[in-house]
């Protein structure tokens, strides 16, 4: 794990981020998008999150981007402003090396440092995403529930699992 560097993402990372996400969209069920966005769209999304004060990180391994993670608004209404939803993607060749865990741990810390109080994980396809569910569990998330057959991809219905963890003082004190 010492060869993994977690750092803030920059626009220079967009090409690698886009490649990682494209693979996830085309071949996986972690994302319910059907058509992968291009670099311009991924850059727009990154800029929107960074401009909104949300953390956006990359993991480098051997000098190359091997994964990325970000927190974004859980929901747009003002009352949700202290809650974020996490997203973590790791390049296929870099999976099972601790990169997802390192990214999520740093994302949790960065989100708490920004004053967010709750982190929500919306994990697509609970049957195929057991490693993601376990990763979140190990890092302090608890199972909240599931929404059955909410997405349709690869000619099958997919559910989502909802997990949650408190950040900082959570709900123990007002923000």
Give per-residue pLDDT as tens, 31-87. 999 999 999 999 999 999 999 999 999 999 999 999 999 999 999 999 999 999 999
CA distance 39 to 1: 29
For 4-166, which CATH class? alpha beta
pLDDT value for 128: 82
CA distance 27 to 134: 21
Per DSSP, the three-state class of 94 is helix
| Burial readout 126-161 (b: 16 or more C-beta within 10 A, e: otherwise) | beebeebbebbeebebeeeeeeeeebebeeeebbbb
pLDDT at residue 1 greater than cutoff 60: no
Domain ranges of the chain: 4-166
pTM: 0.96
């Amino acid at each position: 794990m010492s060869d993994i560097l977690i750092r803030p993402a920059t626009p220079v990372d967009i090409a690698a981020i886009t490649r990682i996400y494209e693979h996830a969209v085309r071949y996986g069920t972690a994302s319910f998008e059907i058509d992968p966005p291009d670099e311009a769209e991924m850059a727009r999304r990154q800029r929107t999150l960074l401009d909104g004060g949300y953390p956006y990180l990359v993991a480098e391994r051997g000098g190359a981007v091997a994964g990325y993670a970000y927190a974004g608004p859980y929901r747009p209404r003002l009352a949700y402003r202290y809650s974020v939803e996490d997203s973590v993607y790791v390049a296929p060749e870099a999976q099972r090396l601790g990169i997802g865990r390192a990214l999520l741990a740093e994302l949790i810390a960065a989100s708490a440092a920004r004053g967010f109080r709750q982190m929500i994980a919306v994990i697509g396809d609970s049957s195929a995403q057991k490693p993601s569910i376990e990763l979140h569990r190990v890092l302090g998330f608890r199972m909240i529930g599931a929404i059955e057959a909410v997405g349709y991809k690869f000619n099958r219905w997919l559910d989502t699992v909802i997990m949650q963890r408190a950040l900082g003082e959570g709900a123990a004190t007002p923000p």
